[in-house]
């Protein structure tokens, strides 16, 4: 199977790149905040060991196989000179991709995730001609996340009630997706 390289992606204010173990303290910095992890599948990190396990998990889950890609990018801020969060891309199938993201609270509302997600969209559609659908979902209360999806160009598809389990509770999800313009494909 063809392998894909997880190359760094640069934007005006950010560099998206694979994590290294030197990022441990930066990861703990944002992942230890319960406000950041409120809507995420995992609990806030309590110790550096939790962050270490998170980096180990990323390493073990990374997949570079075309059609089954799973890449987690550290979002490195040029201004702050540190990793401020993460964004990932995964193939949902050969023709589809999905994004997930989170950054530290101190950086919310500055357009960082919209900038990162837009760059990841361009990368995904640019590198995988077979991908026709890019999707994301979140809980309806997560207004910031929905705004990012809209800014990336995704359209609201609907709400699925109690369709997901987060921290042992069934939750509603709103779904968004961007379909590649067939003129471009």
Ligand X SMILES: CC(C)(COP(=O)(O)OP(=O)(O)OC[C@H]1O[C@@H](n2cnc3c(N)ncnc32)[C@H](O)[C@@H]1OP(=O)(O)O)[C@@H](O)C(=O)NCCC(=O)NCCS
Q: Which residues bind ligand X (CB under 6 A)?
A: 36, 39-40, 85, 101-103, 108-114, 138, 142-145, 147-148, 151
Q: Which is nearer to ligand X, 129 or 144 (CB)?
A: 144
Q: Which is nearer to ligand X, 7 or 147 (CB)?
A: 147
- Burial class from Cβ neighbours inside 10 Å (0-12, 13-18, 19+) for residue 93 reads exposed
Q: b vs e for 51-60, b when ≥16 Cβ sit within 10 Å of the residue's Cβ?
A: beebbeebee
Q: Which is nearer to ligand X, 99 or 131 (CB)?
A: 99
Segments in 11-99 forming alpha helices (H): 24-31, 34-37, 48-61
What is the nearest approach in angstroms of ligand X to the Cβ of residue 182?
Answer: 27
What is the nearest approach in angstroms of ligand X to the Cβ of residue 110?
Answer: 5
- Report the residue number whose CB is nearest to ligand X: 144
E strand map for 78-124: 82-93, 96-103
What is the nearest approach in angstroms of ligand X to the Cβ of residue 83?
Answer: 13
What is the nearest approach in angstroms of ligand X to the Cβ of residue 99?
Answer: 9
C-alpha distances (whole Å) from 67 to each of 29, 100, 111, 117 are: 33, 18, 30, 20
What is the nearest approach in angstroms of ligand X to the Cβ of residue 164?
Answer: 10
Report residue 43 as tokens: 């609990």
Q: Which is nearer to ligand X, 4 or 173 (CB)?
A: 173
Report residue 131 as tokens: 């991908």
Q: Which is nearer to ligand X, 66 or 139 (CB)?
A: 139
What is the nearest approach in angstroms of ligand X to the Cβ of residue 155?
Answer: 15
Q: Which is nearer to ligand X, 62 or 135 (CB)?
A: 135
Report residue 69 as tokens: 């890609």
Closest-CA residue to 144 (of 166, 185, 114): 114
């Amino acid at each position: 199977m063809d392998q894909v390289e997880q190359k760094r992606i640069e934007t005006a204010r950010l560099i998206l790149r694979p994590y290294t173990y030197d990022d441990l303290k930066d990861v703990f910095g944002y992942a230890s905040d319960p406000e950041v992890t409120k809507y995420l599948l995992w609990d806030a990190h309590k110790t550096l060991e939790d962050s270490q396990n998170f980096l180990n998990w990323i390493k073990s889950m990374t997949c570079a196989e075309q059609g089954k890609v799973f890449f987690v990018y550290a979002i490195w801020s040029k201004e702050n000179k540190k990793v401020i969060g993460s964004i990932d891309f995964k193939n949902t199938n050969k023709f589809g991709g999905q994004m997930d993201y989170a950054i530290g609270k101190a950086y919310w509302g500055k357009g960082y995730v919209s900038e990162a997600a837009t760059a990841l969209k361009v990368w995904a559609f640019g590198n995988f001609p077979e991908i026709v659908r890019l999707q994301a979902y979140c809980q309806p209360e997560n207004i910031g996340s929905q705004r990012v999806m809209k800014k990336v160009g995704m359209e609201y598809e609907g709400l699925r009630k109690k369709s997901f389990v987060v921290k042992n509770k069934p939750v509603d999800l709103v779904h968004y997706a961007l379909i590649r313009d067939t003129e471009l494909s």
